[in-house]
């Protein structure tokens, strides 16, 4: 039913094989998109981001809390037009 396909990696431009068994696996899981990266680029990307579970190396930004005025750090680049809160003030606002 499925045939091997040659795809081009969007990161490195190398061709890689999307095998019939991989296509069958994707279909069983309900995935509708084909892979866009070769195996080595997928692995490099996963290792660079910690696989989504290791946030210890995330870049943090120093800010002053808009609620209490204390210095704190947040894991995103703040925008000047939006208030940023420390953990405690954010929790009370929820």
Q: Which helix (H) or strand (E) holds 26?
A: helix 20-29
User: Is the per-residue pLDDT at 9 higher than 70?
Assistant: yes
Q: Which residue has the tokens 């990266």?
A: 37
CB 18 within 8 A of CB 4: yes
Domain ranges of the chain: 5-52, 61-93
Read off the pLDDT of residues 43-52 as tens digits, 9 standing for 90 and up. Answer: 888 887 655 5
- Taking the complete model, does pTM exceed 0.85, yes or no? no
| Phi, psi dihedral angles at 86 (to 5 degrees) | -70, 175
């Amino acid at each position: 039913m499925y045939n091997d396909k040659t795809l081009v990696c969007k990161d490195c431009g190398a061709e890689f094989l999307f095998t019939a068994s991989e296509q069958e696996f994707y279909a069983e899981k309900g995935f509708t998109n084909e892979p866009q990266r070769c195996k080595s680029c997928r692995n490099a990307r996963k290792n660079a981001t910690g696989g989504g579970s290791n946030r210890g190396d995330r870049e943090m930004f120093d800010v002053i809390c808009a609620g209490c005025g204390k210095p704190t750090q947040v894991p995103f680049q703040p925008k000047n037009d939006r208030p940023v809160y420390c953990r405690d003030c954010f929790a009370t606002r929820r």
